[in-house]
Structure 1
Amino acid sequence: MSVKLSFFTGGGVDGIGGNKILLESHGTALFLDFGKSFSEENKYFDEFLKPRGLNGLGDLLAFDLIPPLPGIYREDLVIPTQNWWEKVSSHPAFRDLTIQGVLLSHAHLDHSGYISLLSPDIPVYTSLLSALISKAIQDCGISDFLSEIVYSKPKEILEDGLICSDKNYSNPSQQRPYYVFTHQPLSESVRGFWNQAPGKRPLSPVSLLPILEEKVTVGNLPVRFWSVDHSIPGAGAFGIHTPEGWILYSGDLRMSGKQTKKTQRFTQEAGALQPLLLIIEGTRANLSTSHGSKHFTEQDVADRISQIIKKAKGLVIADFGPRNLERLISVLKATEDVNRQLVITTRDAYLLEALNQCGEVDLPNPLGHPNIRIYAEKRVRTSEWESTLLEGCRAQCLTAEDVASHPNEFVFCFSYYDFSELIDINPSGGAYIYSATEAFNEEMQLDAVKLKNWIDHFHFQLFGNPFVQKNTDSHDPLHVGGHARPDELLNIIETIHPSYLLPVHTECFEFFENHFGTRKDIKLIRPQAGEAVAL
């Protein structure tokens, strides 16, 4: 008997993101995440050329963007006359397979995005926060077959062999089972949020199933969960106890945020297990040395943002990653200190309200908060979720006209994709705080050029550098990434001290070769897409 790990194109082993690692042991098959690889998808698709929902799984299979494993996917996304499984049957990884679950490390789409394609009876094991974030993202997002991570709308195959959503709105959406690691029983408000979906179509709910002891048996394998520090709440690492030994999966983690103790606890407890294998992310692994440079923390970022807001004249815009709620709280505190009001989008308000109900993190409830306003964009039609939200907070709603007359009173949480609203607000000067991720591919670099054009047009003073390259040390602490630095990666690995080390989610495997390539106590494994490793 052995542990078998299988790897796939765009599955986290040939670049950053898209983690989809298949673990098989003792008659049980599990996926460690089932994410969307943005880099692989962007080779063939873009904003205006997307995988076609009318073709189901076909477009994704054609470009090897999802594993060729027919037994794991939704039947309503397969067109019988297209013979897609026959077309990919020569793929070396092709086989019929049944899996017992997905271990979801966190709610970023490069780890969760392709769960929408999986059979609705396959359970997802994750934190309560990750489950709620995933549902909020889906509730507020564009409705298509690639966004149905928590619940899926019924599909039908037309006479011409194309797939479309069932137009009979009395047929309910199907919710998939989520088992959630949590420290307390689920509240009625959380259950109510989970069991309802916005829109005309009813939901056939599957109740959240709480796991209160940080461990559960999936198939024949005991599984442990640890909360870790990352740039999104609810991130976690997993341990799978196989007959050959413990297999650990780090997900994405860091040691520079305000939840560093969570990562430290995982590292110490994982090391005590004397694991067979550690699968670890290496997003920030690189060969450059930065001796003497200061390593910033999330608190350094909060302090710097506070300094800028205190001195700013005119409108202030803080631009940071979506669902980076730790950063949002830092901006809120800085806003309160200068008697300004924080302005958030309806999507942020919807997410905050949902997470506030679970009581697991110290997040503000935006509804009724004295220092939070909610920006109401101009729309011809408003989605049901947004109409309900705005109806409940009319006194907090803010329009472009309100801001234009008193720009000094507000700090906006806006990103590049909200810029069209600036045309209506028409600010003249102010501060633009760029506190988001680095521009590390051509598409993001192009967006950075456009971002600078907008900033210059409205005469904002820019703080932060949207043009900085990945892994470049910054001298102005306006952003801390969600991933462990090279020195932190080495510390984590040495503390856990596995027999085998398998890096994923990295573009610099050479970093691990330099440090572990000749080690006998920690044997390095280089995963390859389309291949399997047996331990």
Structure 2
Amino acid sequence: DFGFPFKSNKLFYEEYLRPRGGAGLLDPLTMELLPPLEGLYRKDMEIPGLWQRFRNKPLYRKLDGVGGVLLSHAHMDHSGYISFLNEDIPVLSTAITAFITKANQDSSKAGFDQQVCYLSPVCYDYPAGWQQMACLGDKKKVQRRFYPMDIEPQGFCPEATLFWEKGFWERTRNQGEFIPCPLSSYDDSNLKLWCFPVDHSIPGACAWGIESGSGWIIYSGDLRLHGKRSYLTEKFIADAARLKPKALILEGTNLRDESSFSRGNISEQEVFDNGLKTIAGCNRLVIADFSPRDIDRLLTFLQIARDTNRRLAILPKDAYLLKTVGLLDTSIPNIATEDAMVIYQKTTAGRYPDLWQRSICEEYQDKIILAEDVASSPDRFILCFSFFDLNELPSIDPGPGSLYVYSSSEPHDEEQEIDFRRLRQWLKHFGFNSFGLHVETNGRWEIPDAEKGLHASGHACAGDLIRLANEIKPELLIPIHSEHPELYLPHLEGSGISVTLPVTGQILEL
């Protein structure tokens, strides 16, 4: 994994203060968002004299000949900074993860630091009428080399191959040339890899195993044991244990404090049961707010919509993702034939909306609904909106008594806390009731006891993590992806598992 460092990034940047694309690698290296590893990154983003600035830094290393990136899943905190990697370095992932990286990039205005699936080459030159040189982008798009490790690309349907190499539409001349890199099988007889599918809050997640001279090293990625596909994680535990690994690199997102070990996780079935009970009692508009790309949660609310005689109104970006994943997973509903699903088309000021949006809306034109449709029959819909979609409410004009169902995590930083307070103001202004929304009490954000049970975490609870470690039983546990990795120490004492807390830039020798 090589992800976007959200927490570190927010120390320096915000929406209107961002790393300069024209400075290439300089800003993320200077602000220590990227490790100074010469040879790892795109050559076209190196300004003259770049590495002379960093060769005396404590974390500097020369790193040539990297054979690939083992990508566990498509969340940006794991995949985002692949954007900066040398395009000759291949990405190994599941097929669904590869497809989601493309869908994410296709359906967003990807900046220079969000080019995971394909990149826009740059050259260092003078802009017209400018004295300061800069890294200037090209309209051309060059696709990275991905190796799907769970499915042979030869078995893809023609539509899946077409999507990967072109998209759902033919690109126009104005968009520039798209240079595809067809998916192919990975073949390195000198390297033993194992891709373990696991359950997480995004399709296609996996753990990895790689055989070293000292034995197998296992990396968990992000996983859970309480989701719809917990059997995948259970199989991973059994398969990894049989390898008798030398080391296990294990996530610890839900290790928050000692009380974490007395808390379990809400299951997706409980989310469905609680959501159905809550929404069935509302005769006005319902908004469901949950994480993007959490298809399990989307399908949970789709079933609730069916059971409450409503229609789930998704956004074009959701539709694009569903269609993409559906190319590889036949269990994904077909939007065209799913009676309980429609696509909400937002108000736009542009004469020509983005081509991908036009394509989706044309393909599913019979499924499009507008603000006026929701306004005339608010009790017939569940809108899949987040806080950032609430500017549609003046057009919808929902009546008092509408319901905002919050099915996601608590705010994690000051900016998100501000957004939560703004969200409360929106709901108050339009007379919404809310359910499952965190309330600020004595500096802590907590869900009222009567409203709990509407969010299933994408991560294993603390007790499950300890169970996983004990059952895989590596010689060495290396905790990562955690605010409190030290909590592993007392709970694995006497287990025969040695725990080493990683230090930034420090090499661990096995």
Match of 1:364 among 320, 333, 350: 333
Corresponding residue for residue 420 of structure 2: 448
Corresponding residue for residue 246 of structure 2: 276
Match of 2:102 among 135, 148, 159: 135
Contact 1:439 1:467 in 2 (8 A): no
Letter in 1 for 2:431: H
Q: Which runs of 5+ in 2 are unaligned?
A: 127-131
Corresponding residue for residue 73 of structure 1: 41
Q: 1:467 to 1:134 in 2, by over 3 A?
A: farther
Indicate the SS of the match to 1:221. Answer: coil
**C-alpha distance in structure 1 between counterparts of 2:24 and 2:398, whole Å:** 45
**C-alpha distance in structure 1 between counterparts of 2:449 and 2:433, whole Å:** 18
Indicate the SS of the match to 2:228. Answer: coil
Corresponding residue for residue 409 of structure 1: 380
Letter in 2 for 1:205: P
Q: Which runs of 5+ in 1 are unaligned?
A: 1-32
Indicate the SS of the match to 1:373. Answer: strand
Letter in 2 for 1:88: F
Residues 233-272 of structure 1: pairs in structure 2 closer than 5 A? 233-272=203-242
Corresponding residue for residue 269 of structure 2: 299
Task: Tell me the C-alpha RMSD between the 2 structures.
Answer: 1.9
1:365 deviation in Å? 2.1
Contact 2:255 2:461 in 1 (8 A): yes
Corresponding residue for residue 484 of structure 1: 460
Indicate the SS of the match to 1:489. Answer: helix
Match of 2:258 among 282, 288, 297: 288
**C-alpha distance in structure 1 between counterparts of 2:74 and 2:370, whole Å:** 31
* Pairing 1:42–2:10 present: yes
Indicate the SS of the match to 1:142. Answer: coil
Q: Please list the CA deviations of residues 353-394 of structure 1 after superposition, one character each: whole Å capped at 9, or x if unmatched.
A: 1111113x6211223422211111122130011111111111
Match of 2:320 among 350, 368, 393: 350
**C-alpha distance in structure 1 between counterparts of 2:87 and 2:360, whole Å:** 29
**C-alpha distance in structure 2 between counterparts of 1:497 and 1:291, whole Å:** 19
Contact 2:288 2:385 in 1 (8 A): yes
Corresponding residue for residue 369 of structure 2: 398
Indicate the SS of the match to 2:82. Answer: helix
**C-alpha distance in structure 2 between counterparts of 1:307 and 1:362, whole Å:** 25
Residues 74-153 of structure 1: pairs in structure 2 closer than 5 A? 74-80=42-48, 83-98=49-64, 99-153=66-120
* Pairing 1:532–2:496 present: no
**C-alpha distance in structure 1 between counterparts of 2:479 and 2:298, whole Å:** 31
Corresponding residue for residue 314 of structure 1: 284
**C-alpha distance in structure 2 between counterparts of 1:328 and 1:521, whole Å:** 42
1:92 deviation in Å? 2.1
Contact 2:94 2:151 in 1 (8 A): no
**C-alpha distance in structure 1 between counterparts of 2:27 and 2:56, whole Å:** 17
**C-alpha distance in structure 1 between counterparts of 2:420 and 2:31, whole Å:** 29
**C-alpha distance in structure 2 between counterparts of 1:410 and 1:472, whole Å:** 25
1:91 deviation in Å? 1.4
Corresponding residue for residue 11 of structure 1: none
Contact 1:305 1:478 in 2 (8 A): yes
**C-alpha distance in structure 1 between counterparts of 2:260 and 2:149, whole Å:** 38
1:471 deviation in Å? 9.5
Letter in 1 for 2:491: H
Q: Please list the CA deviations of residues 91-136 of structure 1 after superposition, one character each: whole Å capped at 9, or x if unmatched.
A: 1221221210000000000000000111111100001111111100
Corresponding residue for residue 337 of structure 1: 307
Match of 1:507 among 467, 483, 501: 483
**C-alpha distance in structure 1 between counterparts of 2:482 and 2:188, whole Å:** 30
Indicate the SS of the match to 1:427. Answer: coil
1:514 deviation in Å? 1.6
1:474 deviation in Å? 6.1
**C-alpha distance in structure 2 between counterparts of 1:491 and 1:472, whole Å:** 27
**C-alpha distance in structure 2 between counterparts of 1:458 and 1:313, whole Å:** 16
Indicate the SS of the match to 1:285. Answer: coil
Q: Please list the CA deviations of residues 35-92 of structure 1 after superposition, one character each: whole Å capped at 9, or x if unmatched.
A: 0110001110011111110111111011111121121111111111xx2211111112
1:181 deviation in Å? 2.5
Q: 1:57 to 1:90 in 2, by over 3 A?
A: same
Q: Please list the CA deviations of residues 468-490 of structure 1 after superposition, one character each: whole Å capped at 9, or x if unmatched.
A: 75898966200011111010001
